[in-house]
Amino acid sequence: MPTNGNVNRLQGQVAIVTGSSSGIGKAVAQAMAAEGASVVVNHSGRSAEAAEQVVASIKAAGGNAIVIPADVSNEDEVKKIFAETIKSYGTVDILVNNAGLQKDAAFVDMTLEQWKTVLDINLTGQFLCAREAAREFLRRGIVPAKSKAAGKIICMSSVHEVIPWAGHCNYAASKGGVMLLMKSMAQELAPHKIRVNSIGPGAIKTPINRSAWETPEAERKLLTLIPYGRVGEPSDIGLAAVWLASDESDYVTGTTLFVDGGMTLYPGFATGG
Ligand code: NAD
């Protein structure tokens, strides 16, 4: 669990974290619960046991959480996440659009199915969840005792919203899409006091990229891309997400916060170009 001093920055708020049975989403769910939020732990439907363990860890730390399985690329299932959340907790204050995956292939070998699966989950899934969240935020409006904003949406993007990635065209296209989806939503929703931002993680140790950090050789190679000299931990993202969801970032909207140890500083240019 991240140590964040437990200052209850999200007290009384309800957070849906998509894809929070594992990796970054799990750390975000735990960090938000540690700050007083009631958390919905979502997974695709295939990770029930892992999701229950996340809920158990939150409850053991004195927090509040439930599991709602749903495929974020399915409109009816997304509506179900929100309906069940509102039934259990009354409303939604924070959405973390985190669910995502990779289906890697050389460009010329990439199948339409690999392309569509990644775009459907990583981009359309974020649209569907954000739309339902914004509808609920607009319906409810600001509750001053909880937050200065009517609602907060945090999109899990990637350094690959700006760094091209050979062998991962579908993934890079999905994250590039998330960048302008996020900014366009932020522009449209700001007058309604809804804040929309992204986090752009660099390399974080999770199952999605295990082969990139699992062995000492792989980790050494990865570190050549990270000026700060360490691979990221899921809690690095959890703590950033708490800040973006809290009133400490009340004047921040339409921004990607890169949490990447400097990966977007293009370290290959450090010794010339
Ligand atoms: P992970 O594989 O550990 O977790 C992915 C989560 O998404 C799981 O909980 C899984 O159940 C869920 N998921 C997958 N498909 C889903 C669906 N259709 N509906 C609902 N949930 C679904 O991966 P992670 O590294 O924790 O990735 C989380 C997010 O962070 C992704 O959006 C990923 O692109 C992004 N990201 C990760 C890294 C990294 O280095 N790990 C870097 C940049 C961005």
- 207-213 LR contacts (CB < 8 Å, sep 24+): 207/22, 207/23, 208/23, 208/100, 208/101, 208/102
Q: Is 171 a catalytic residue?
A: yes
Task: From the CA of 46, give the closest atom in ligand 1.
Answer: 11
**Closest CA relative to residue 69, chosen from 94, 32, 92, 41:** 41
Rounded to whole angstroms, the Cα distance separating 170 from 167 reads 9
Indicate the residue type of 203: A
Rounded to whole angstroms, the Cα distance separating 55 from 20 reads 10
pTM over 0.95: yes
**Closest CA relative to residue 32, chosen from 83, 87, 98, 90:** 98
174 lines ligand 1 (CB under 6 A): no
Give, in words, the CATH class of 14-261: alpha beta
Question: Rounded to 5, what percent of the chain is helix, strand, coil?
Answer: 50, 15, 35
pLDDT in tens, 125-147: 999 999 999 999 999 999 999 99
Catalytic residue among 171, 228, 251, 266: 171
Per-residue pLDDT of the chain in tens (273 residues, 90 and over written 9): 444 566 899 999 999 999 999 999 999 999 999 999 999 999 999 999 999 999 999 999 999 999 999 999 999 999 999 999 999 999 999 999 999 999 999 999 999 999 999 999 999 999 999 999 999 999 999 999 999 999 999 999 999 999 999 999 999 999 999 999 999 999 999 999 999 999 999 999 999 999 999 999 999 999 999 999 999 999 999 999 999 999 999 999 999 999 999 999 999 999 877
Domain spans, the chain? 14-261
Q: How far is the CA of 21 from the centre of ligand 1 (A)?
A: 9
